[in-house]
Structure 1
């Protein structure tokens, strides 16, 4: 259906239908020109329009070779697939009423909302019941259940219509003034879209058993990862937002072999929309490779919510240059920003190089740094200049010192820096940093050991190649908070604070498969265009050993030593079993996993 034909029919009932479709679309996307680029997004926008598509229905419109759907194609789907009927409601009611007593209890509704569809807390589910529980018996009869669904659907329509009207009003003002301003992102806004989001959670009850749940045993990508990578959908008026930036690095700790990284604190004094990106940095001392080391971000609350959760959101979309980005709305407060990598490409080196580069040379009776060492030091300075202003502040020098010597820079040490090194506005220049290393070279009497300790702590091998570290840059944009504070908070084990949020993200966004042979053992698989992650959730009171044979996967790299591993999962716990990335992004890739319980 062409865009022109749909607009011509905007009269009477057809016009109201079109507006409802448009409002549903704009509650998720910024413009009707945006395209639906995944089956998950198709489910979401159809739910906003009051539809609850089954797996069979989705297969009619999202085929194996489908890459995207336009707004007009979405309108056409809504014409063919009718909104929820009374019969649909009765079927849904009977599915949720597990014991068949004619009522839906808090436990029955909570079980559905924590195993299927969008995940909700117990308190959120109780609020849903309380809103329509007229006789206050703590459960829903059929009439109350229907009221909950239908009132939520109408609320969703109203919220969607308001979002659409606000965006169109802003566009008209922009057209009149001929400015470059564009609408504020609304799809992730907790303030304006809160009702629509809750509506989506409630409406998903209608077909929880019919939604597509491909088994992680054979999870296929849509095709080559590179084919689906495009320019990130960043806010159009981004130049007007407040910008803060910081560099950082992933390091493989030489002793523990854990992945360490810079971690950040974001302080907001006002509620605001944010746009945050992370991208790997290429330096001269890195190993030559056409493949990008994957990076990502998790945004966490500073303190857990009432259910003990800290996860707010994480990056899922990436462009062809390796940049990941995420948009969301945050309330005033403190947040932790933690970088993430699957470590499928960033691994401990298998062996040391056969040759060792020279760091020092004897010249005119004294030791100085070699030309090759100087180039590496210049790269190190650039990476340690976290804010990219061309100089190294005391705080930046302190983070460099913590990483390379496990010690902070004291007042006495900083006084020496101020006295002996070249500074600019109280910060160390690149020439001053080289002076520091020249002084150390002169004092060394030709002993390079301490210098190699520094280099190895930064992931640089004996040939002066950075092969056990990955530098990155993070950019934070805030729309309504002009004094946002974004700075390094620690250099710590990446998974120390990410273990639970990462498991939560996979269990919320991934697809679940029950493991045969054990009732309370579930395997979740999350798969994006460039990453797949498998989490195993053991809700039983017994520990279990689970073998996952993924050797049938194609074109995959993984963080594990092999594609056939056995994992121990303690009772009442979750583990991250595998991360995968495509070995070659220009080729199709798939994850195939066969699981078996080990006795």
Structure 2
């Protein structure tokens, strides 16, 4: 679960970066409306709806962090007492009104009290005395975590100016990200449900949330009016991180272009088989793809490759998917499909081709394609102009436009998995499941053979065109159903393939004919997540969290991308804060420089993948992983 941390210190008065919606076009948002909108943005980062309740102290903690607060245990205990069972959104708004965010000035003022020489730093000795003797006291372990924070400690001194700058920069970025996410969600709802959606405040222009009776009890009035002192603000800020570790990896320009993948000698004499497939990007950002079973009849040297599939493009149409990274994880089936053992993955590269060479024994293997998601992303700026799919000739007959026919030809190429130039029922059903969610049964396929061009019980390219023309005629030229198909296959309104990446797998075996069969399409998780974790644990560099030896960060550099995995050996879930802000020329699959992940007890999880933004330039991955208290 990815979690953005924090928001701007001037939360209640922040001028929103929210894109203008229907309401803002009528009149500017008031300060009260901005406050309410920011509250919703933070709340909806943790919950699906503002109608959901907070049912635990941990949920309250996360929601407050998204709202730019740094909740201490004292603050949490104030609002979540032993008698509290739940809080609602209005309660949350009331808490934010009373718990003002720590400003940069307040943080600096707290630190400057200890900086008698005005050096911009504090000795570790003075910092230790301050944090353990005054205000809400910290333990020795907690202070050591602060002193060990990367980037803000050197030569026995704590650089509080740099700490404050990083803290405020993180909060500003997270507020912007939180608001942008809310705007994207609102746009999606508007597209799907029109104006009947939960978006900008539609009730009273200046909503004043009313807390539930259980929130304010006798004796709380003084607590609610208390502003707190700056020591507690400092304490909650520094307590956010218990301990941290950092990784720095610098890669030279074009280092991942080195041709380390080479074909075996005499490969032309080996037997081979090929299959195609595709990565599809879902609305929620999840990636799904075809998965395969491979059979090797006898022990043999094997050469496997995967690469993006080149399609015949209309001139001027970009081939964005050709820059998408691909990989193939090979798992051995032992007795059952649920008992799979990781064998290897295609980590060597020659331009866009990733491959592996080695010896495999006889048996059944699963091939699970993977992409990091760094370059297969949702479109930031959706295309507004819609391409024409159908037209009418002089006699009024419907026809498919040249551009649409070219796109359908490319789709045919993608779903023709065995590459024989025809669609079998099995291949067509992968397409049907993707676009409609239902299979085409034998009876329907028989009707299809009778009405459209087929050969040897398989649909030809011309027959596929005829099928789509019939669908357009059935809708009297209305292209909406055709667009459903195109969007499902990853095309935007300009008929550009932007949210899918077709690929081709080639398998060569020296002593036997390999077999490959597409089995299903599934999310790139489950077995794949386990395989990635295992490969990173086996090959990556590991660093322990200081004082928390059960929490380990593993980082693996395969030169093309960098993957980090967090291993939690403890009996409790942990929340890890990840900060990539000091990286250069990098992009990660999370889409955020700063975020957090929750790792379940006794588990491992893929934290992030990182790739160069521009492969022709040097790139440096610098990341700090911090344990949140």
SS in 2 for 1:354: coil
User: Which one of 427, 444, 450 corresponds to residue 413 of structure 1?
Assistant: 444
Residues 561-594 of structure 1, C-alpha deviations (whole Å, 9 max, x = no match):
2121111111111111110111111222221111
Tell me if the contact between 1:297 and 1:339 (Cα under 8 Å) persists in the aligned partners.
yes
Residues 185-334 of structure 1 mapped to structure 2, 5 A cutoff: 217-226=246-255, 228-230=257-259, 232-254=261-283, 256-283=284-311, 284=313, 287-289=318-320, 292-303=323-334, 310-320=341-351, 322-334=352-364
CA distance in 2 between counterparts of 1:343 and 1:391 reads 31
Asked if 1:597 is matched to 2:627, the reply is yes
Residues 370-418 of structure 1, C-alpha deviations (whole Å, 9 max, x = no match):
1211110011111111122222222211221221112222111111121
The alpha-carbon deviation at position 463 of structure 1 amounts to: 1.2
SS in 2 for 1:310: strand
Tell me if the contact between 1:394 and 1:427 (Cα under 8 Å) persists in the aligned partners.
yes
Tell me if the contact between 2:348 and 2:356 (Cα under 8 Å) persists in the aligned partners.
yes
Residues 490 and 360 (structure 1), Cα distance of their counterparts in 2 relative to 1, 3 Å cut:
same
Residues 523-534 of structure 1 mapped to structure 2, 5 A cutoff: 523-534=553-564
The alpha-carbon deviation at position 485 of structure 1 amounts to: 1.7
CA distance in 2 between counterparts of 1:228 and 1:258 reads 28
The alpha-carbon deviation at position 222 of structure 1 amounts to: 4.5
User: Which one of 523, 526, 538 corresponds to residue 508 of structure 1?
Assistant: 538
CA distance in 2 between counterparts of 1:268 and 1:373 reads 41
Residues 98-497 of structure 1 mapped to structure 2, 5 A cutoff: 217-226=246-255, 228-230=257-259, 232-254=261-283, 256-283=284-311, 284=313, 287-289=318-320, 292-303=323-334, 310-320=341-351, 322-363=352-393, 364-482=395-513, 484-497=514-527
Tell me if the contact between 2:299 and 2:362 (Cα under 8 Å) persists in the aligned partners.
yes
Tell me if the contact between 1:227 and 1:586 (Cα under 8 Å) persists in the aligned partners.
no
CA distance in 2 between counterparts of 1:228 and 1:287 reads 21
Report the equivalent of 2:613: 583
Report the equivalent of 1:551: 581
The alpha-carbon deviation at position 553 of structure 1 amounts to: 1.3
RMSD: 2.1
Residues 557-568 of structure 1 mapped to structure 2, 5 A cutoff: 557-568=587-598
Residues 347-387 of structure 1, C-alpha deviations (whole Å, 9 max, x = no match):
12234311111212122223222121111001111111112
CA distance in 1 between counterparts of 2:600 and 2:498 reads 34
The alpha-carbon deviation at position 303 of structure 1 amounts to: 3.4
CA distance in 2 between counterparts of 1:418 and 1:374 reads 21
CA distance in 1 between counterparts of 2:571 and 2:414 reads 48
Tell me if the contact between 1:460 and 1:468 (Cα under 8 Å) persists in the aligned partners.
yes
Query: TM-score with structure 1 length normalisation?
Result: 0.61
User: Which one of 549, 552, 557 corresponds to residue 522 of structure 1?
Assistant: 552
Tell me if the contact between 1:309 and 1:501 (Cα under 8 Å) persists in the aligned partners.
no
Query: TM-score with structure 2 length normalisation?
Result: 0.58
CA distance in 2 between counterparts of 1:520 and 1:231 reads 36
Report the equivalent of 2:13: none
| Gapped regions of structure 1 (runs ≥ 5) | 1-214
CA distance in 1 between counterparts of 2:597 and 2:547 reads 16
SS in 1 for 2:485: helix
Tell me if the contact between 1:225 and 1:529 (Cα under 8 Å) persists in the aligned partners.
no
The alpha-carbon deviation at position 519 of structure 1 amounts to: 2.2
Kindly report structure 1 stretches of 4+ aligned residues shifted beyond 6 Å. none
CA distance in 2 between counterparts of 1:396 and 1:544 reads 44
CA distance in 1 between counterparts of 2:446 and 2:297 reads 34
CA distance in 1 between counterparts of 2:506 and 2:434 reads 22
SS in 2 for 1:520: strand
Residues 581 and 451 (structure 1), Cα distance of their counterparts in 2 relative to 1, 3 Å cut:
same
CA distance in 1 between counterparts of 2:345 and 2:335 reads 16
The alpha-carbon deviation at position 216 of structure 1 amounts to: 7.8
Tell me if the contact between 1:538 and 1:574 (Cα under 8 Å) persists in the aligned partners.
yes
SS in 2 for 1:302: strand
Residues 525 and 308 (structure 1), Cα distance of their counterparts in 2 relative to 1, 3 Å cut:
farther
Residues 15-30 of structure 1 mapped to structure 2, 5 A cutoff: none
Residues 200-258 of structure 1, C-alpha deviations (whole Å, 9 max, x = no match):
xxxxxxxxxxxxxxx9823324522346521622211111111110111000123x432
Tell me if the contact between 2:310 and 2:322 (Cα under 8 Å) persists in the aligned partners.
no
| Gapped regions of structure 2 (runs ≥ 5) | 1-243
Tell me if the contact between 2:309 and 2:322 (Cα under 8 Å) persists in the aligned partners.
no
The alpha-carbon deviation at position 338 of structure 1 amounts to: 0.6
CA distance in 2 between counterparts of 1:574 and 1:229 reads 31
Identify which range, 524-533 or 554-563, moves more after superposition.
554-563
Asked if 1:499 is matched to 2:526, the reply is no
Residues 227 and 591 (structure 1), Cα distance of their counterparts in 2 relative to 1, 3 Å cut:
closer
Residues 496 and 559 (structure 1), Cα distance of their counterparts in 2 relative to 1, 3 Å cut:
same
CA distance in 1 between counterparts of 2:436 and 2:396 reads 29
The alpha-carbon deviation at position 541 of structure 1 amounts to: 1.1
